[in-house]
């Protein structure tokens, strides 16, 4: 018995209709590629490709001197830390490490302790 051309087409279409979730896997792959591309574009738009490098150390201060100031610290081999600054003052004991000065152009310069001073 010989099958007609229509029977073969019908069999092909029936095989494709058996699993309706076949295309979902492809949509997931496309969504993952799109999200990674969006992440890379976002980092490049902020001009911070150092965040993608696993060997560089970087510290970013957002809104310096404001109430909503944040520090973003990335050290090689460590997870990224985000420190939110607030008006709450810490208490406890510590060691004097140095002084920070703001220059007229807005640059902040840190001068480490020379070991002879006892405090501010």
Residue ranges covered by each domain of the chain: 1-47, 56-120
Judge whether 108 and 102 are in contact, CB under 8 Å: yes
Residues 6+ apart with CB under 8 A from 52: 40, 43
Residues 6+ apart with CB under 8 A from 40: 52
Compute CA distances 59 → 75, 80, 81, whole Å: 8, 10, 10
Task: Give residue 36's pLDDT.
Answer: 94
Could you list the pLDDT tens digit for every one of the 120 residues in the chain? 566 666 666 666 665 556 667 777 788 889 999 999 998 888 777 766 676 677 778 888 888 878 788 888 888 778 888 887 766 666 677 777 788 888 899 888 888 877 665 544
Task: Give residue 89's pLDDT.
Answer: 65
């Amino acid at each position: 018995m010989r099958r007609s051309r229509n029977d073969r087409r019908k069999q092909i279409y029936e095989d494709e209709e058996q699993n309706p979730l076949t295309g979902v896997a492809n949509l997931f792959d496309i969504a993952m590629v799109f999200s990674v591309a969006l992440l890379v574009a976002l980092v490049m738009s902020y001009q911070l490709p150092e965040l993608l490098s696993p060997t560089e150390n970087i510290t970013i201060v957002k809104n310096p001197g404001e109430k909503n100031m944040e520090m973003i610290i990335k050290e090689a081999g460590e997870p990224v830390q985000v420190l939110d600054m607030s008006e709450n003052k810490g208490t406890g004991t510590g060691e004097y490490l140095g002084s920070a000065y703001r220059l007229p152009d807005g640059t902040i310069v840190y001068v480490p302790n020379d070991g002879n001073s006892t405090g501010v």
